[in-house]
Amino acid sequence: MQNKLIVISIDSLQTTDLDYLKEKKNFHWILERASVVKNIREIYPTLTYPIHTTLITGVKPNKHGIYHNQQPSIQQEMPDWSIMGSNWYWYSDYVKVKSLVDAANEKGLNTAAVMWPVMAGGKPNHNLAEIWPNRHEEVHETFKKACTSDVFELYYDSHLKTFDWDHKIDVDGYAIPIAEDMIRRFNPDFMLIHSVCLDHARHVHGVEGEAINQCLDRVDEIIGSLIEASKDAGDFERTNVVILGDHGHIYVENVFNLNVLFKEYGFIRVDSDGNVVDFDAFSFSSGFSAQIIMKGSEDEVLKSKLHKALLRMQSDYPEYIGRIFSAAEVDREEGLEGNFAFVLEGRDGVMFDNHFNAELILDMKVSRGKKYIGMHGHHPSKGPKPLFISFGPDVIPGITIESGDILDICPTLCKLLNIQEEDMPHMEGKAFELIS
């Protein structure tokens, strides 16, 4: 009989968290039975949505098409809703290649997802989408379109309708109880779950410290509650469980508003009230890196002018602007392709922001009344690295692998689901050697 698989992504779970978690009740029990891959190299940029798409496709953004959390815009509709704005890549239709959910569905497995990035729509049999409403759409309509009908009907009135979308960010408060109920109710063969509380804690409180330890306590409780749900469903003994992180965090030392320079150089033009009336190019932050968007992507004269301007900016602010990648260079070196002409990597601790009517250099990012002192979106050569923990009937216990590549995760999940290579032929990695 096919064993089941539950994948739990703890957003921003780092290898450095193991020292604390191994003493906690549930992780202590897990680690005695598990195998671990530490220090996994991510893709570029280290953002949640591109990474989670890589986790279930086995390829980089130049193949799966998700190169940022959000679609680029010079003026975000809701700039304070999240740390970088609105208009995210919510829907699975954006993904250009076959995913592990597609392969599992083809195999006839019962699939489910809770808050998995870029998964809105009907691909899993039971789906609570990661999405939040904007000011132009009712909460009811947002979730009705994004979730499967069974999940919407079961949980909208009890959980989603009552959530305070204007003031709260703790979506784990409704997502994890729903995930527990879905495990018990649907007993899926393959389930993807995404928890975000740790990532938010690191944005607000930094990489380490007492507030982070308190959140790790909560993560331990979340994992324990999901395991209990699996036991209640009656199939825990034949369930493989994977717990993983997607990226690490780095402390923010400065915020650099590159678009202030773009306006000074004439690439962004505003009226007397500071509103954009036209532009040739703008910077779109991806955290510690930035993607430079041109209005005319094929305009070689403009591209040359823009490149010279970026080099001058780098010369004028060498302590803030690190490497300048051309689109061809970043594709060749990191498999990053998208609607941009250049990618800028900040110096260590330098985050880019999108404002053009602001101070050029700030010491902190502020959004929704909160200071953000931890960030990601950097080159994968930097920062603490995520990890991969697995246990269950098909996992050899006690193996520790000191480093790995994120491209190897999808092949590992395929092996746990008994999905063959010919069913996912585009994958670029190979399975970790910890499966019996």
pLDDT at 82: 44
- Work out whether strand 361-362 and strand 350-353 pair parallel, antiparallel, or are unpaired: unpaired
pLDDT value for 274 = 87
Q: What dihedral do alpha carbons 251, 75, 290, 97 form, nearest 10°? A: 110
Q: With contact defined as beta carbons under 8 Å apart, do 247 and 376 qualify?
A: yes
Q: Are residues 411 and 337 both part of a single domain?
A: no
- Judge contact between 231 and 187, C-beta under 8 A: no
How is residue 37 written in tokens? 């891959």
Q: Does residue 65 sit within a domain?
A: no
CA–CA separation, 334 and 250 (whole Å): 20
Residue in the block written with tokens 């922001």? 353
Q: Are 193 and 46 in a shared domain?
A: yes
Same domain, 154 and 26: yes
Instruction: State which of 337, 353, 375 marks the end of a domain.
Output: 375
* Pair (256, 242) in one structural domain: no
Q: 313 and 211 share a domain?
A: no
**What 3 state SS string does the chain have?**
CCCEEEEEEECCCEHHHHHHHCCCHHHHHHHCCCEEECCEECCCCCCHHHHHHHHHHCCCHHHHCCCCCECCCCCCCCCCCCCCCCCECCEHHHCCCCCHHHHHHHCCCCEEEECCCCCECCCCCEEECCCCCCCCCCHHHHHHHHCCHHHHHHHHHHHHCCCCCCCCCCCHHHHHHHHHHHHHHHCCCEEEEEECHHHHHHHHHCCCCHHHHHHHHHHHHHHHHHHHHHHHHCCHHHEEEEEECCCCCEECCEEEEHHHHHHHCCCEEECCCCCEEEECEEEEECCCEEEEEECCCCCHHHHHHHHHHHHHHHHHCCCCEEEEEEHHHHHHHHCCCCCCCEEEEECCCEEEECCCCCCCEECCEEECCEEECEECCCCCCCCCCECEEEECCCECCCCEECCEEHHHHHHHHHHHCCCCHHHCCCCCCCCCCCEC
Q: Residue 54: phi, psi to the nearest 5?
A: -65, -35
Mark which of 339, 354, 375 sits at the end of a domain: 375
Tell me, yes or no, whether 68 lies in a domain.
Answer: no
- Measured on CA atoms in the order 312, 317, 323, 326, is the torsion positive or negative? negative
Q: What is the CATH classification number for the domain harbouring 17?
A: 3.40.720.10
At residue 304, φ and ψ (nearest 5 deg) are -65, -40
Split into its structural domains, the chain has a count of: 2
Residue 148 to residue 5: CA distance in whole angstroms: 20
Q: Do 147 and 16 fall into the same domain?
A: yes
Q: Are residues 205 and 347 in the same domain?
A: no
Would 434 be classed as within a structural domain?
A: no
User: In this predicted structure, what is the pLDDT of residue 298?
Assistant: 82
The answer to whether residue 36 sits within a structural domain is yes
Residues 335, 418, single domain; the answer is no
Q: Are residues 218 and 322 in the same domain?
A: no
| pLDDT by residue, tens only, the chain of 436 residues | 799 999 999 999 999 999 999 999 999 999 999 999 999 999 999 999 999 999 999 999 999 999 999 999 887 555 444 444 568 999 999 999 999 999 999 999 999 999 999 999 989 999 999 998 876 678 899 999 999 999 999 999 999 998 887 777 799 999 999 999 999 999 999 999 999 999 999 999 999 999 999 999 999 999 999 999 999 999 999 999 999 999 999 999 999 999 999 999 999 999 998 889 999 999 999 999 999 999 987 899 999 999 999 999 999 999 999 999 999 999 999 999 999 999 999 999 999 999 999 999 998 776 656 688 999 999 999 999 999 999 999 999 999 999 999 999 999 999 999 999 899 999 999 999 999 9
Which residue, chain included where needed, has tokens 């493989």?
A: 240
Q: Are residues 173 and 279 in the same domain?
A: no
Q: Are residues 159 and 301 in the same domain?
A: no
35 within a domain of the structure (yes/no)? yes
Six token digits for residue 210: 């007492």
pTM of the shown model:
0.96
Given 375, 396, 413, the domain boundary residue is 375
Q: Identify which of 107, 31, 46 has the alpha carbon closest to the alpha carbon of residue 375.
A: 46
Whether 146 maps to a domain, the answer reads yes
One-letter identity of residue 83: I
> Can you give the residue range of the structural domain that contains 403?
4-59+97-248+382-423
Q: Are 338 and 294 in contact (CB under 8 A)?
A: no
Within this chain, do residues 130 and 165 fall inside the same structural domain, yes or no? Answer: yes
CATH number at residue 265: 3.30.1360
Contact (Cβ atoms closer than 8 angstroms) between residue 207 and residue 375: no
Phi, psi (degrees; rounded to nearest 5) at 303 = -60, -40
